[in-house]
Structure 1
Amino acid sequence: MNTPVFTRTDPALGEFSLRPVDPAADAAVLHSWVTHPKAVFWLMQDCDLAAVEKEFARIDADPHHDAFLGLHNGTPAFLMERYDPAHRELVGIHVAEPGDIGMHFLCAPTDTPVHGFTHAVLTTVMEMLFADPATHRVVVEPDTRNTGVHALNKAVGFEIRRTVSLPSKDAYLSTCTRDQFLAARGDH
């Protein structure tokens, strides 16, 4: 389970890879991330270690939802969730098209941020998702108050489609096609 399923090298920042989350083995590191004040939009601030492990075990058992631990030069540094929007998160709100895939990501909190790191993480996530030829469009639903992620999403090609009301938040339903991602990277 610790074998990376995707790896890319960023010329400035080094190697980024993703492997499936192991709910039991990764619970402590994930708990420290999702309960940190900077992860307020993950809505897990009050979760204890057992609740975090239980949530990622639930995701692991769900055929329409996956979680991946992101590594930077071999060290845990980010989290990515992939889901089928026809079955999770956006059911009844977004009419999923064939090839749609939903995504969430979280960078590990740090007191020493590295310029360009979060953009490199999001680029890695998008490259992994689009490495699957069945993926035609990535769908996200970030909280409208999460201004930092909106700028990052725009930088990799996402377009806000509309504001939607979800049970836990008002969100910007946003999409990014393969072509939009490649254009944002400068790969026409």
Structure 2
Amino acid sequence: MTAPLFTRTDPALGEFSLRPVVPSADAPLLHSWVTHPKAVFWLMQGHDLAAVEKEFARMAADPFHDAFIGLHNGTPAFLMERYDPAHRELAGIHAAEPGDVGMHFLAAPTDTPLHGFTLAVLTTVMEMLFDDPATRRVVVEPDARNTAVHALNKAVGFEVRDTVSLPSKDAYLSTCTRDQFLAAQGDHR
């Protein structure tokens, strides 16, 4: 597998890191995650293994969209997608500004949840995105019905800007600047 591109340590939960998805090798794991009932908002419930591999291979070849496996203490535990909102997902819907980066994340389904884990995952994702000095603002468009992710987004500094209709969902268009993220981190320390 490829080496991690970003690593951080959470004082309570340990090491979190991200590495690029390798579609052919990671497809079975990703398939088990994105087709799980808890991943309903990923809209891949009926996908077979070949369809999941094809989707992540498409992302790997797309200059405006990529995907990462997140590791928790060395074990795959979450997924993150990064995209350019001027060219993908929100093109024509959101007036993207220079430095905008789109993001999706998924904590892997588990039978043994850890308190604070998903917030630590989202914090890791945000730290990775803001580790790039060119990133000025993170943009997300979660399904309006996904109340759990709305609470997490708010906890790391996202502000809902609008409700938008996308082909597959009504979504809360939300943004988080570097300053909003840093201010939210101060609230958690």
Match of 1:112 in 2: 112
* TM-score normalised according to structure 2 size: 0.98
Structure 1 residue ranges without an equivalent (≥5): none
Residue 155 in 1 paired to residue 152 in 2?
Answer: no
Tell me the CA shift for residue 112 of structure 1: 1.1
Match of 2:7 in 1: 7
Match of 1:70 in 2: 70
C-alpha RMSD of matched pairs (Å):
0.8
Residue 87 in 1 paired to residue 87 in 2?
Answer: yes
Q: Output the CA distance in 2 between the equivalents of 1:47 and 1:126.
A: 28
Q: Give the counterpart letter for 1:82 in structure 2.
A: R
Tell me the CA shift for residue 158 of structure 1: 0.1
Match of 1:132 in 2: 132
Q: Give the counterpart letter for 2:104 in structure 1.
A: H
Superposition map of 1:29-40 within 5 A: 29-40=29-40
- Please list every run of at least 4 consecutive aligned residues from structure 1 whose deviation after the TM superposition is greater than 4 angstroms: none
Q: Give the counterpart letter for 1:143 in structure 2.
A: D
Tell me the CA shift for residue 14 of structure 1: 0.3
SS in structure 2 at match of 1:56: helix
Q: Output the CA distance in 1 between the equivalents of 2:88 and 2:125.
A: 19
Structure 2 residue ranges without an equivalent (≥5): none
Q: Give the counterpart letter for 1:179 in structure 2.
A: D
SS in structure 2 at match of 1:186: helix
Tell me the CA shift for residue 113 of structure 1: 0.8
Q: Output the CA distance in 2 between the equivalents of 1:104 and 1:177.
A: 16
Match of 1:174 in 2: 174
Q: Deviations over 1:3-33 (max 9, x none)?
A: 0000000000000000000000000000000
* TM-score normalised according to structure 1 size: 0.99
Q: Deviations over 1:64-84 (max 9, x none)?
A: 001000000000000000000
